[in-house]
Structure 1
Amino acid sequence: MSARTPDLTRRLTLLFALASGVIVANIYYAQPLLAAIASTFGYSPARVGFLVTLTQLGYACGLLLIVPLGDVLNRRTLIVSLLLLTVLALLAVALSPDFKLFAAASMLLGATSCAAQLQVPFAASLASDDERGRVVGTVMSGLLLGILLARTVSGTIAQLAGWRIVYGVAAFLILLLTLCLLRALPQDRRSDQAWRYRQLLRSLLTLLDRHPTIGLRSLYGALGYACFSIFWTALTFLLNAAPYHYSEAKIGVFGLAGAAGALAAGSAGRMADRGHGHRATGLFSSAILASFVFIYLGAHSLTSLIVGVLLLDVGVQGLHISNQGVIYALAPDARSRITTIYLTCYFFGGAIGSSAASVAYYKAGWSGVCVAGAFFSALLIGSWLAAHRQQCRRLCLQ
Structure 2
Amino acid sequence: MNRWARLLAAVVCGVAVASVYAGQPVLEPMGRDLGVPADALGGLVAAGQLGYLAGLVLLVPLGDVLDRRRLIAAHLALVAAGSALTAAAPDAPAAFAGLAVAGLFAVVVQTTVAHTAAVSPDAERGRDLGAVTSGVVIGILGGRVAAGALADVWGWRSVYLALAVLAAALAPLAFALPPAPARPDAPRYGRLLRSFGGLFVQPPFLGRGLVAFFLFASFGTLWSGMALPLAGPPRYLDETQIGLFGLAGLAGALGAARAGRWADAGHARRVTGLALALLLASWAAIGQLPWSLPLLVAGVIVLDFAVQAVHVSNQHALTAAYPDRAGSVIGGYMVFYSLGSALGAAATAALYDAAGWTGSAVLGAAFALCALAVRTIGDPATARGPRPSGRPAPCRSTPG
Q: TM-score range by the shorter chain?
A: 0.7 to 0.9
**Residue identity matched to 2:105:** T
Aligned residue number for residue 280 of structure 2: 289
Contact 1:138 1:265 in 2 (8 A): no
CA deviation profile, 1:317-352 (whole Å, cap 9, x unmatched)? 111011112111112211111111111211121122
Q: Percentage identity across aligned positions? A: 38
- 1:200 counterpart (173, 183, 192): 192
Q: Distance in 2 between matches of 1:162 and 1:217?
A: 41
Structure 1 vs Structure 2 CA RMSD: 2.4
**Residue identity matched to 1:163:** W
Q: Distance in 2 between matches of 1:308 and 1:77?
A: 41
Residues 1:83 and 2:96 aligned together: no
Q: Distance in 2 between matches of 1:207 and 1:223?
A: 19
Q: Distance in 2 between matches of 1:159 and 1:389?
A: 45
Aligned residue number for residue 123 of structure 2: 130
Pick which of 250-259 and 33-42 moved more: 33-42
Q: Distance in 2 between matches of 1:109 and 1:236?
A: 25
Aligned residue number for residue 225 of structure 2: 234
Pick which of 243-252 and 136-145 moved more: 243-252
Unaligned runs of 5+ in 1: 1-7, 393-398
Q: Aligned-pair distance for 1:34?
A: 3.3
Q: Distance in 2 between matches of 1:49 and 1:200?
A: 33
Residues 1:30 and 2:19 aligned together: no
Pick which of 34-43 and 260-269 moved more: 34-43
- 1:191 counterpart (179, 183, 187): 183
Contact 1:67 1:114 in 2 (8 A): yes
Q: Aligned-pair distance for 1:20?
A: 1.3
Q: Distance in 2 between matches of 1:12 and 1:60?
A: 27
Q: Distance in 1 between matches of 2:25 and 2:150?
A: 11
Pick which of 240-249 and 126-135 moved more: 240-249
Q: Distance in 2 between matches of 1:374 and 1:107?
A: 32
- 2:99 counterpart (86, 92, 106): 106
Q: Aligned-pair distance for 1:151?
A: 1.1
- 2:108 counterpart (104, 107, 115): 115
Q: Distance in 2 between matches of 1:375 and 1:47?
A: 29
- 1:60 counterpart (53, 56, 77): 53
Q: Distance in 1 between matches of 2:222 and 2:123?
A: 36
Q: Distance in 2 between matches of 1:192 and 1:256?
A: 45
Residues 1:173 and 2:156 aligned together: no
- 2:210 counterpart (215, 219, 222): 219
Q: Aligned-pair distance for 1:123?
A: 1.4
Q: Distance in 2 between matches of 1:327 and 1:194?
A: 19
Contact 1:25 1:147 in 2 (8 A): yes
Q: Distance in 1 between matches of 2:380 and 2:259?
A: 22
CA deviation profile, 1:195-242 (whole Å, cap 9, x unmatched)? 333311122244455x52121111111111111112111223333322
Contact 1:158 1:249 in 2 (8 A): no
Pick which of 269-278 and 185-194 moved more: 185-194
Q: TM-score, normalised by structure 2?
A: 0.88
Contact 1:68 1:336 in 2 (8 A): yes
Pick which of 169-178 and 364-373 moved more: 364-373
Aligned residue number for residue 43 of structure 1: 37
Change in Cα spacing, 1:229 to 1:389, as seen in structure 2 (3 Å) is closer
Contact 2:61 2:189 in 1 (8 A): no
Number of paired residues? Answer: 382
Pick which of 372-381 and 122-131 moved more: 372-381
**Residue identity matched to 1:176:** A
Matching of residues 345-360 of structure 1 within 5 Å: 345-360=336-351
Aligned residue number for residue 3 of structure 2: 10
The SS at the match of 1:297 is coil
Q: Aligned-pair distance for 1:95?
A: 2.9
CA deviation profile, 1:96-121 (whole Å, cap 9, x unmatched)? 34445434432332211000111111
Change in Cα spacing, 1:261 to 1:50, as seen in structure 2 (3 Å) is farther
